[in-house]
Amino acid sequence: MRLEGKVAIVTGANSGIGMAIAQRFAAEGAHVAVNYLPGGTREADTLKELAAFPTEGMPAPADISKRADVEAMVQAVVQKYGRLDIAVNNAGVEIKKPFLEITDEDWNFVLGVNLNGSFLLAQTAARQMVKQGGGKIINISSVHEDVPFPAYAPYCTSKGGVRMMMRNMALELAPYNINVNNIAPGAIATPINQAVLNDPAAKAAAVGEIPWGRFGKPEEVAAVALFLASDDASYVTGSTYCVDGGLVQQVTRY
């Protein structure tokens, strides 16, 4: 058990990478607050999956793009478990649209969840961790924190922002024993990629770009999150770990 007695929040844990991380953390002994946007389609399934965790966890419905929601969520976790050791900024959204057609609403929605949401939880969690003498903050970013992606400007911008926020936090929070790192997944088989996975030609084109020759599994991202959340990562801060089957090498080869 690598997270025995630890308390974690995972945002967007109602599906995909977030749920895999929540399940892995629970399997390693952590109490996990499972965050999701209230009223979403997977709410009932999420609560069922949470009830099957080997450790007691808690539902943490909140709109992470709103400070009041995030602060109330962290307060509820600290009230229940007395502490917060690990915060995982996983919730993310993307809109596919050519740059010339992006509206203010598109831009603000994607930046609001991916960048502002990550900031709000990171800051709120860090304030609690300072009181406790340390903690771990992990952002699930993307290979697109560094690499542009046609028709995904708001998404790539948000992830680039998360990368710089992470590096700045690593600097400023080192004196408080708070490790801050990113994971940059490539193409992972999750609901966000369902349209591509359902279209054989699009899937073959995507797989063709991946040196490893396949999509990743959410569990393969969770394994790296576990490392970064554990004491094994005690001297690791300010880094991005790509979990992408080599994709970033391929798309940056020129």
Interface with ligand BGC by CB under 6 A: which residues?
94, 142-144, 149, 186-187, 192-193
Minimum distance, C-beta of residue 132 to ligand BGC, in the bound complex (Å)? 32
Give the nearer residue to ligand BGC in terms of CB position, either 89 or 124: 89
Give the nearer residue to ligand BGC in terms of CB position, either 24 or 144: 144
Give the nearer residue to ligand BGC in terms of CB position, either 149 or 227: 149
Minimum distance, C-beta of residue 246 to ligand BGC, in the bound complex (Å)? 12
Minimum distance, C-beta of residue 193 to ligand BGC, in the bound complex (Å)? 5
Our CA dihedral for 126, 21, 145, 165, rounded to 10 degrees, sits at 0
Cα→Cα distances 131→72, 78, 136, 192, Å:
17, 12, 13, 36
Q: Is 155 a catalytic residue?
A: yes
Minimum distance, C-beta of residue 145 to ligand BGC, in the bound complex (Å)? 9
Which is the catalytic residue, given 155, 176, 235, 241? 155
Length of the chain in terms of residues written:
254
Give the nearer residue to ligand BGC in terms of CB position, either 136 or 144: 144
With DSSP H G I counted as helix, E B as strand and the rest as coil, what are the percentages for the chain, rounded to 5?
Answer: 50, 15, 35
φ, ψ for residue 246, nearest 5 deg: 90, 5
First to last CA, the chain: 43
**Can you read off the two tokens belonging to residue 154?**
């708001």
Residues involved in catalysis: 155
